[in-house]
Structure 1
Amino acid sequence: MSKPSFNERLRYRIDQFFQSGFTLQLVIASSMIVAVMALFYGFAEVFQIDVGPDFASDGSDRFWPSVRFWWVVTHLLETYWIEASIVEQLTATILTLFNFLVFAAIIGLVGSKIQSRLESMRRGTSRAIEFNHYVIIGWSEKVLPIVRELHEGLERKRTAIAILSEHPVDEIEQYLRKKLGRLRKLRLVIRQGNATDPRDLDIVSIGTCKSIIILRPNGASDYGDALVIKTIMAVEHAVTTAERSGERRLPNVIAELERDETLPLAYAAANNMPLSIVQPSDYLSKIILQTARQTGLVQIYDELLEHRGSEIHALAAEKLTGIDGMRWEEFVFSFDYVIPIGLQRDGVLYLNPQRTEETKTVRSSDTIFFVAEDSNAIRERGERREYKEVPATQALTASSQPIVHSFMIIGYNEKVKPFLEECNRYAHSVAQRFSITLVSPSASVNAVQSSDYSSLDIDLVHQDYIVPAVLEKLNPGAYQAVIVLGEQEHGAEWGDADTRAIMTLLLLRNLRQKAADAGKPFPKEHQIVGEIIYSTNKELARSTGTVNDVIISLSLISKMIAQICRDPRIEPVLKDLFDESGDEIYLKPLSAFTDADSIEFGELLAICLARGETPIGLDLADPSDPDDTRIVLNPNKSEWIAVTANTRVIVISENEE
């Protein structure tokens, strides 16, 4: 290797100078200025430069020798003297030129520092100094509805939400500002960083936050769960470090996962940190199945998960006076504006605890779950009503709605397998075999094996259902329920899945109209359930006039995450409601509970309690009108209800009879 030349050495030193920090650059520049000033001052002394008529150049002036020094300094700043000799003029000119270089360098340094600071602010690398705030780690389409739900749930409180992602801060701020507008009670703090790096997690103040939400990235089906688990490990490390330093207690962590086999890894990564896991595909598959069995159920879930109306709340029983040892039915009637639905004792959840001998009375150590508008309504309690015990009415001789034996699933996505598993369990519970036809052009449909589902007869149709002739040949009117899923092609946007779903609903409308014109209309109880990802496409889906229920998957899961984020204690309640083996939400005809023309809701509540179930509201909508969504949750116990053919009771029950 040849010896480096002088030019190479000089270029390298210049590169090192520009790569050094602002402080070092300023020190070097200042040293150069001082050196030049000393050089020219020495030159001025050697040549005895005349500094002007106001001062004696022989040194007899009392201000000498500082006068000649300040003559050099002033020529570095500006030129305003006209020197007499050529030497003085040349010296002054050179100093003036150097003046331009000096100030250009200083302005450049300061300007680059300001630009660097602005760039740092744009990247969001400074630490967020917040306390008791929410943290969202990762970026997906769920961020927007989650932020909206958390904002609506703040009530009178003010707080902050810190979002950490790898996306540029200005892009996210612009997107959220455009979609959300001005948020008066909420402050958004956007930071850019690596979610799996504990040092980057510190910039959103992990140690002082209230809750942490970890989201799977969009389209990360292969590595999404692994990335979430790695993030959980990083969060656990950051939280443990903050806890050791005495910052605060452990926050609640809500993580989004897809596969069941990754759950043990997630809990192991969390160590002793409180962790709630939401599996979107699992929850949505159960909601889709329940909605296919009971029309109108998705509107109830939407109302129950939304903060605007009544929702599920948890409260420690010790915060309520005079309830220790109270019978559950009496406890329920001690509230006027809320409905208790269950309790948690020794870590075990009991919905409808009046059915279980050891939970028929309330203890002060229990955690009670309510359907209420807000926590203040629970504490106020209202006027206490006397519980009048009534005999349990006879069980319905038939199901409140016929059991669905045949499904057609149009489209394939990650919810198909969890749906088939849930459907298999449901078919097994009613001891009947179900017929399911799965239609999709995707090659992924071949991964479904009939042998994996003992109670299902599965027929795979590998064709493009968007082709009208294909869908017509499959005869969807012969099935009791048709489920249209949003099918996303590899690499395509989620909006494309909504487009395919809406096109399919249009084809179904044409087929239904054609069948009616031919005198062979679809059965009256025929159910069509459509999955839409974006809420903006809901009205388009409804405008087809075909679908009975539209499931906004993105909105439902986001609302669920926001609910658990606000209060992790309600997580087991949601899991139980969506689990086929637990208590579920059912819609039962009001006429099954009374022969009268009208009934007081308090009396209906007593009847349901005697039957081992709890009514939480009423469905007053007309089933024949898809735009009629009159759902009343948590009605007043003194409210009278007219008994009509369309009125249904929303109950939490163990079975649908």
Structure 2
Amino acid sequence: MLQKFRYRVDNVMGRGAPALIGVLAALCFAFAALNGLLLLAFAPDGIRPDNARSSVWAGFLRVLSPTILIKDRGSAPFLMVAVFMAFSGIMLMSTLIPVISAGLQNQLARLRAGRTPVVETGHTVILGWSSQVHVVVAELVEANRGRRHACVAVLAEKDRSEMETEIRERVGDTAGTRIVCRTGNPADPQDVTIVSPERARSVIVLAAEDECPDFGVIKSLLAVAGTRGEGGTGPLLVAGVADEQNLAAARLAGGPRCRVVSTQGFIARLLVQSSLQSGLSQVYSELLNFSGHEIYMTHQPELAGRRFHDALLAFRASTVIGLMRQDGRILMNPHGDTRIEAPDRIVVLSEDLTTIALSDAVPEFTPVDPTPAKTSPAPGRNVLVLGSNQRLDAVIEQLGARLPAGSRVDVVADTPVAVEEWRGGGLELTFHRADITRRHVLEGLTVTKYDHVIVLCPGDRDAHEADAGTLATLLNLRDLAECAMHDFTLVTEMADDRNRVLAQAGKPDDLIVSGNFLSLRLSQISQNPHLDGIFDELFAPAGCQIALHPAGHYVPVHQPITFSSVVDAVRRHGHLAIGHRIARRISQPPQHGVRLNPDRAETHTYREEDQVVVLTGSSLIHPH
């Protein structure tokens, strides 16, 4: 009998503070009833309750406050009963108070541990933690400006208070967006349910900064996919994988509503394109940043039945770049006679949704006769690649796809690279092993013979250590170019965005913070999945691409001209004008002379060194 009683007591204790509080509350009621009966039986006149109800209340007060014993007077039996009631109250309260305190402490500890479920709808979930989480959160905060009750939930294997402190210090003011942090394993399906992904608008999976980040990304995608409802409904999943070999597996794990970006391929294309055209990195940064001009799809019924050419000058504060058909197909820079159908959406570049509006009148423009296109073949180029990381093979592949015949690529790195002398497509590749941070090594390379230089950030070192070596290489290259009075395009890959400001001191070369650009792209796709196909097309070796061409190729220089006239002149060449780069403002951060989507009515006087940002070629993007 005693053993069964102990067993039941153990079971009650194992249920935690709520069960103990319930047992003690029952004991308190029992003692109150017992004390009430004792008061009716032994209390003298003046103390004895009038009825059973008041006797229970009086007994309950004696349980809560045993000090009532001090005021008791009467016979010895009553005093003995009063002492019993006082001791029972002391024992009960001394047990109840620690139990309540322990329960509160456990609840506070649970709150601090970040294990309480997130009760939100339409929020954005971030799974994982890396140095780029601050960039993603900052972009989502910017995207949510103007939205009420916006929320971003972060789940990572990190202390909740540490995550909140880092985000507060790095991101700063989050405006009207609530940042909710929870502690858990992003690859554990049970932990993932804490942030309620099934009710989220989108889920962004960040790769861990370890040797095999793709495996963790795939497991997180599987964990979220397990929360989807019937028919594959649920949030949009966005992630990036380092190895392109894992791309198909990641997309299969995420399901139909999943967008996966190949990190190495994307950054390699970004590096190569920026190296071949100075200023292109600023254009891409503006397109990928929520604080700049973004790509939107807008429905304008007034344009139904009209030609695409007519839509180009129908907006004053937005730049038309394509059409989105009802079935999800996107026509980038289609033929000018393409008809706009009623269900179609216009793909525009605009500062915000509020700035997308049809103009009351077509801005005045001066027709300019098109300049005859040059047909002479492009000469071979010499490219120097300094440093090595996991993106080197993709960089070489992109150079082979973009450089004209007769080009040469020399790779110099201080680590052995599994690249033998290779020739293909008219491109010659050589490799040399040397310490690129040493000035005498750079002097021996004779940098004056190169047209383009790419500096890769070492991938096998700490971010600060890697950037320190990259900065040393960058400064030496600048000095050598200045001493030799030789100009070449220079694109430098950085690991930490905080070192970008140091690298830009003195001269605004093209700088690529690879993690930042990937984070910006993932953030954009999480808000609009159609942008994934557009970005793939813009960064592809062929098709619809962004380029910077001299303004004199399209319009007269040293003459005032509206940007509407520029749009019309560029269109006569089959291109789309989306902005310009003013040479005299190149040293002015943060745009460094690049301005996208200028007002059509603004007047500009271009010089020979100024450039127009154009969209060349055309393409058809099929929905995923």
Q: TM-score range by the shorter chain?
A: 0.7 to 0.9
Q: 2:234 aligns with which of 246, 250, 253?
A: 250
Q: 1:621 aligns with which of 574, 583, 588?
A: 583
Alignment partner of 1:631 is 2:620: no
Q: 2:196 aligns with which of 205, 224, 230?
A: 205
Structure 2 match to 1:650: 613
- For 2:354 and 2:52, the matched residues in 1 are separated by 83
Q: 2:251 aligns with which of 238, 261, 267?
A: 267
2:400–2:424 CA contact under 8 A, matched in 1: yes
Q: 1:437 aligns with which of 363, 386, 411?
A: 411
Alignment partner of 1:568 is 2:526: no
Structure 1 match to 2:514: 553
- For 1:503 and 1:643, the matched residues in 2 are separated by 36
- For 2:424 and 2:7, the matched residues in 1 are separated by 70
Tell me how far 1:153 sits from its aligned partner: 2.5
Distance change >3 Å, CA 312–CA 69, structure 1 → 2: closer
Q: Per-residue displacement from partner, 1:320-343 (whole Å, max 9, x unpaired)?
A: 124333222122122222221122
Give the SS at the match of 2:417: helix
Structure 1 match to 2:622: none
Alignment partner of 1:601 is 2:563: yes
Distance change >3 Å, CA 375–CA 398, structure 1 → 2: farther
Structure 1 match to 2:301: 321
Q: Per-residue displacement from partner, 1:49-76 (whole Å, max 9, x unpaired)?
A: 96567569xxxx9779997996798367
Give the SS at the match of 1:190: strand
Give the SS at the match of 2:181: strand
One-letter identity of the residue aligned with 1:393: T
Structure 1 match to 2:225: 236
Distance change >3 Å, CA 530–CA 489, structure 1 → 2: same
Please give the TM-score of this superposition, normalised by the length of structure 2: 0.85
Q: 1:612 aligns with which of 571, 574, 586?
A: 574
1:488–1:496 CA contact under 8 A, matched in 2: no
One-letter identity of the residue aligned with 1:169: R
Alignment partner of 1:26 is 2:6: no
1:51–1:67 CA contact under 8 A, matched in 2: no
Tell me how far 1:18 sits from its aligned partner: 4.3
567-576 or 68-77, which deviates more: 68-77
Superposition pairs for residues 36-55 of structure 1, below 5 Å?
Answer: 51=43
**Aligned alpha-carbon RMSD (Å):** 3.8
Tell me how far 1:289 sits from its aligned partner: 0.8
Q: Per-residue displacement from partner, 1:91-136 (whole Å, max 9, x unpaired)?
A: 7667655544422321111112212222222233333232222222
Tell me how far 1:439 sits from its aligned partner: 0.8
Structure 2 match to 1:486: 457
One-letter identity of the residue aligned with 1:323: L
Distance change >3 Å, CA 107–CA 455, structure 1 → 2: farther
Give the SS at the match of 1:353: coil
- For 1:377 and 1:72, the matched residues in 2 are separated by 69
Q: 2:262 aligns with which of 270, 275, 279?
A: 279
Aligned length: 611
Q: 1:534 aligns with which of 489, 496, 508?
A: 496
Give the SS at the match of 2:227: helix
Tell me how far 1:86 sits from its aligned partner: 8.9
- For 2:548 and 2:447, the matched residues in 1 are separated by 25
Structure 1 match to 2:402: 426
Distance change >3 Å, CA 9–CA 299, structure 1 → 2: same
Alignment partner of 1:331 is 2:311: yes
Structure 1 match to 2:119: 129
Superposition pairs for residues 25-104 of structure 1, below 5 Å?
Answer: 25-30=20-25, 51=43, 74=62, 77-79=65-67, 80-81=69-70, 96=86, 99-104=89-94
One-letter identity of the residue aligned with 1:538: R
Q: Per-residue displacement from partner, 1:460-489 (whole Å, max 9, x unpaired)?
A: 344433344444444444433222222243
1:587–1:648 CA contact under 8 A, matched in 2: yes
The sequence identity of aligned pairs, in percent, is 25
2:247–2:262 CA contact under 8 A, matched in 1: no
One-letter identity of the residue aligned with 2:152: I
- For 2:96 and 2:227, the matched residues in 1 are separated by 40
2:32–2:63 CA contact under 8 A, matched in 1: no
Structure 2 match to 1:108: 98
Give the SS at the match of 2:95: helix
Please give the TM-score of this superposition, normalised by the length of structure 1: 0.81
Gaps of 5+ in 2: 619-624
Q: Per-residue displacement from partner, 1:179-198 (whole Å, max 9, x unpaired)?
A: 23332321222222332344
Tell me how far 1:34 sits from its aligned partner: 7.1
Superposition pairs for residues 143-154 of structure 1, below 5 Å?
Answer: 143-154=133-144
Alignment partner of 1:366 is 2:328: no
Q: 2:362 aligns with which of 373, 377, 384?
A: 384
Q: 1:353 aligns with which of 334, 350, 353?
A: 334
2:317–2:350 CA contact under 8 A, matched in 1: yes
